[in-house]
Amino acid sequence: MTIILESETQMKMSTDEYPLARGYVPSARLNLQYYLWQEALGYKLHPAITIKNDGWKVADVGTGTGIWLCDLTKHVPLSSQLDGFDISSDQFPHSSCLPQNVTLRKLDAMSSPPDTLCGMYDVVHVRLLFGVIKQNDPTPVLKHCMKLLKPGGYLQWDEMDPNLLHPLPRVEKTPTVCLEALVNIWKNANPIGWISQLPQIFGESGLDLVAAEAYNEREWQRHMWMELWCLTADDRACALDQTGPAGSADKVRQLASGAYLEITQGAYFSHTLRVAVGRLVGNDSDNNNGRG
């Protein structure tokens, strides 16, 4: 009998620039995060996106666990081709667990996609890349996504805007010192002014802007969102154990513990979730079927 300690299997450290750990706990966090987003938005694909009745192809860039694509299968024709891409396969489910029309593969969104994928997709979806976008410039990822699109295809990009996070103490004088410090870790890691500018960046890059909207979490979700921040901080600390300066991981863990105490005393942040939808200029004579 072989005994494998939990610490050996729970987390994998990133060999790329992903700032968090990977493993079953981070994957569970991503799946919780998906359902919180779904409840806040009320849709997977923006209602302005037309769904074809046959032969539809959708790509999810930065797919993580692939949960967005797997859940999308309930709303698209079985003939649809749903492909998820991520720089790491560490959080992919086993292929036997995937719906028959979902495929996951490794691909770096910061580089040009292979020619075999260019011009293939009716829709490309992106969510939550603010932790890996460098120098306040999303255009490398944007160009990658646009190369995947067919003429007339849609790009939907979803981001949470940390610049608009602000504390909402439910009880007078509830402290938020640790919560604010956790948020500042992400605000200070990479410039994030580009998030609010995505609609303008879409237009400058050659996409027709279809929609630009902002959403907030439902009030009853706020405690869950704040617990999600604490989980994310734990993932960050695990990554810092391997790559960060001495003591940095312990500092993040202490902030997470302090933040959770503040949450239990009634402190919350309001989250702003942004969705931008653009369409690649070109002939779209094939895309003439129903909407969903």
pLDDT along the chain (292 residues), means of 10: 34 51 78 95 96 89 97 94 94 93 96 97 96 90 98 97 82 82 79 94 97 94 90 80 77 90 89 96 52 34
Which residues pair with residue 158 across a beta bridge? 127, 275
Exposure of 191 in the CB half-sphere (CA atoms within 13 A): 8
Q: Which of 39, 44, 183, 60 is nearest to 129 (CA)?
A: 60
Tokens 């002014």 locate to 193
Tokens 């630009």 locate to 212
Q: How many CB atoms lie within 10 A of CB 97?
A: 10
User: Degrees (nearest 5) of the Cα angle 140, 141, 147?
Assistant: 95
- pLDDT, residue 285, reads 40
pTM reported for the whole predicted model: 0.87
36 close to 160: Cβ distance less than 8 angstroms: no
- pLDDT, residue 149, reads 98
The dihedral formed by the CA atoms of 28, 30, 32 and 38, expressed in degrees to the nearest 10: -150
Q: How far apart are CA 156 and CA 51, in angstroms?
A: 13
Count of helix runs (H) and strand runs (E) in the chain: 8, 9
Q: How far apart are CA 70 and CA 25, in angstroms?
A: 19
Helices 177-189 and 248-264 pack at an angle, to 10 degrees, of 130
Collapsed DSSP state (helix, strand, coil) of residue 258: helix
109: which residues sit within 8 A by CB, 6+ positions away?
61, 62, 85, 87, 126, 129, 140, 141, 144, 145
- pLDDT, residue 9, reads 38
- pLDDT, residue 229, reads 86
Q: Which of 93, 102, 164 is nearest to 130 (CA)?
A: 164
State how far Cα 61 lies from the chain centre.
9
Q: How far apart are CA 189 and CA 152, in angstroms?
A: 35
- pLDDT, residue 68, reads 98
Q: How far apart are CA 279 and CA 194, in angstroms?
A: 19
- pLDDT, residue 284, reads 56
Exposure of 190 in the CB half-sphere (CA atoms within 13 A): 17
